[in-house]
Structure 1
Amino acid sequence: MNAFARLPAGPAAVPLQLLLPSGPPRARPLAATRRERYRAHLQAVVDIAAALAPGTPTAPAARVAETVSDTASLLPGRLCALCGGGCCTRGSDHAYLGAPTLRRFMDAHPGMSPEEVVAAYLDRVTHKTQTGSCINHTRTGCSLPRDMRSDTCNDYACDSLAQVQAAPREQVVLVVRRKQDQWRRDRADLDNAVNGAAVLSETGVRRMRVG
């Protein structure tokens, strides 16, 4: 299958051509042991965060603010949706959450006790999570809103996402997706066959047949 060859010819039709990894395709009920490991991690981190002075610098406000204007490009979100969380698989039962993130959350909710902060994070955990991925990784994306996510999660952009973010808003993007996630995509001992392709634009997503 040569998805790139299926596009119309001509200078105006030349798309940005990208490769994507894949997030885990299956979900399973969350094991009680995973939830307990997450609770223990949150408790340890919130204890450190509580010892920091309120207002301790953690991250620029713009980093965690989810601001979407009428002129914002839809391409980054569509690219990440097609990937399905191929970068989330190392989140395990810690979700990259550290004291700076929880201190920032506590500053935004000054009436909450450390115990209530832990409970707020646990309340966001769903009954099913994607197999082999972050505890907050669900079929529809991260169960945490951006202001509760780690700086790692908010700031990370794979090479393909970075290219889309830097591209003109009217750019057409051809994406070929492979089977392995972001961290195993270069392993020669694993099957990394093409398992999806799509043309992305501001007006929509057109999936293409593979195989």
Structure 2
Amino acid sequence: MLNYLCKHCHQSMAYIDYNRSPYCSQNPCQRARVQAEILEHKTKVNQVIQQSVELFRHSQQPTENDENHPSTPINAILPYNDKALVELPEDRKEAFIAHLRRVYQSVCEQKPNAEATYVAELKPADDELTSTMLGKACGTCKGACCGLGETHAFQDYWSLRRYVSAFEKMPTEKTVINDYRKYLPSHSYQAACVFQGEMGCALPSDMRATTCRNYKCDGLINYENTLRDAGTNLTHAAGTRGRTVLHISVFDETSTQIIPIAKPALS
């Protein structure tokens, strides 16, 4: 009779449980299962990236730029926004404006808790090169996390107060509303942030919410940490949804190229 052992603690398991998952129900074993799945996913995505880039380069004429790049670029695994780009409805625009009016009123009355507060403190800006590289990585992702901005765009007391503090005196509500309204794009991603357009966030950086200016997803943080010690800026980035690779780009600080995905992709 076969003896089924947990892949982590090596304790015996019933066949029906092992067939469901080769890890038993103990907490350390379940953590090991998750870690193994993450590693497997990363390995498969890296294989898709490598295969896709190699096939693409074999189909192209070699350039001097190829020779100047190292043979081991950075791989970045990121989420991906695959929502449809649609005309931004008037009701969503007006929902944002109504939210902004409430936030403006809370700033005027100095009531930071009158509306939801997302993030109060603005982190120091990245250096120019890091900002460029992270921006290109976010371009690969196309704003998977930005969709959470919905019709509030994470605008809160601290974000708007920071923006209006740049004026010599407190601007009127009409001025602030018009400042933001003019950046609402004609098209944005369905059920995403109202400012999330085809070319990314339609707002200038100084008008974006503190949350938006601070936030980095796990994939972006991992990429930034790798970038810091890599000795190269050449990046092969994959935008993924679940276990599927949906988008691949190759970029450095000066150029970006979209790469066709080699088949079969992850499933």
TM-score interval (norm. to shorter): 0.7 to 0.9
Q: Does 1:164 align with 2:223?
A: yes
Structure 1 residues 112 and 76: CA distance shift in structure 2, 3 A: same
Q: Which one has the bigger helix percentage? A: 2
| SS, match of residue 194 in structure 1 | strand
> Contact 2:76–2:236 at 8 Å: present in 1 too?
yes
Match in the other structure for 1:2: 48
Gaps of 5+ in 1: 186-191
Q: Does 1:209 align with 2:209?
A: no
Match in the other structure for 2:108: 50
Give the letter aligned to residue 29 of structure 1.
E
TM-score by length of 2: 0.62
Match in the other structure for 1:200: 251
Distance in structure 1 (CA, Å) of the matches to 2:186 and 2:48:
39
Q: Does 1:16 align with 2:74?
A: yes
Match in the other structure for 2:98: 40
Displacement of 1:43: 0.8
Distance in structure 2 (CA, Å) of the matches to 1:95 and 1:162:
22
How many pairs does the alignment contain? 189
Query: Radius of gyration: which is bigger?
Result: 2
Match in the other structure for 1:29: 87
> Contact 1:43–1:118 at 8 Å: present in 2 too?
yes
> Contact 1:170–1:202 at 8 Å: present in 2 too?
no
How high is the sequence identity, in percent, across the aligned residues?
23
User: Residues 11-160 of structure 1 correspond to what in structure 2 (within 5 A)?
Assistant: 13-52=71-110, 59-60=121-122, 62-63=124-125, 69=128, 74-109=132-167, 110-160=169-219
Distance in structure 2 (CA, Å) of the matches to 1:138 and 1:150:
16
> Contact 2:52–2:259 at 8 Å: present in 1 too?
no
Runs of 4+ in 1 over 6 A off after TM superposition: none
Q: Give me the CA root mean square deviation.
A: 2.6
TM-score by length of 1: 0.77
Distance in structure 1 (CA, Å) of the matches to 2:257 and 2:159:
37
Displacement of 1:61: 8.2
Gaps of 5+ in 2: 1-46, 55-69, 112-119
